[in-house]
Amino acid sequence: NIGELKDFIEKCDRFVNEYNSNNEDKLPIVSYILTKKFDGLTINLTYDKEGILINGATRGTGVIGEEVTPQIKTIRSIPLKIENDFTFEIHGEAIMTKEAFLKYNQTSSSPLKNLRNGAAGALRNLDVKETAKRNLSSFFYDIGYIEDHKFTSYKEMMNFIKEKGFPVDEYLKECKTYDEILKEIEYVNGIRDSLNYDIDGVVIVI
């Protein structure tokens, strides 16, 4: 909740101040990146040194995921091959838009209950044709593993994701204070109902 968020921000600031008062090498002021928390199904995609999508998986238990590569390939916004010469794994969210949801339910004998179930059920469906009928979309926001490469910031990582042709959400804000973060949370809450997809809230990353 908001109170816990404020405590967290204060804890981060306190840590940096204490460290800087006791060490010659100084930490920078903490900055935070805010993004929407998409309400769909987490997907992890692995691309090889030739830039080919070789594996698509769900998060599963958090340790062992479900292999859903054929289903992933039905999502038109996901590139099957990119310009790249090193292995990496990218994290994103498979979602169902409100338009896709309504269109599917108009012709389906078993209408879907909500957008999240529509996306999750599609990726877990063994019938790839059924997955394709749901016309899923996706957003990407994180690199889980990358071979022989390092990012110095979240923005640098997101630029890499964009350059490789993955769909990303336009909303990405950098904040430095609790008040700035609170203002952005209020903004996202205000546009939430007008979005073409569902969100759970806001992700705040140091």
How does pLDDT run across 118-138, given as a tens digit for each residue?
Answer: 999 999 888 999 999 999 999
For 98, the token pair is: 């409100």
Active-site residue set: 37
Q: Taking a C-beta distance cutoff of 8 angstroms, is the pair 160, 151 a contact?
A: yes
Average the pLDDT over 76-87 and give the result: 95
Cα 172 to Cα 119: distance, rounded to the nearest angstrom: 24
Q: What is the mean pLDDT of residues 175-202?
A: 96
The β-bridge partners of 137 are: 95
pLDDT exceeds cutoff 90 at 63: no
Which whole number is the average pLDDT over 10-20? Answer: 96
In terms of residues, how long is the chain? 206
Determine the 3-state secondary structure of 83 from DSSP: coil
The tokens 């995921």 sit on which residue? 65
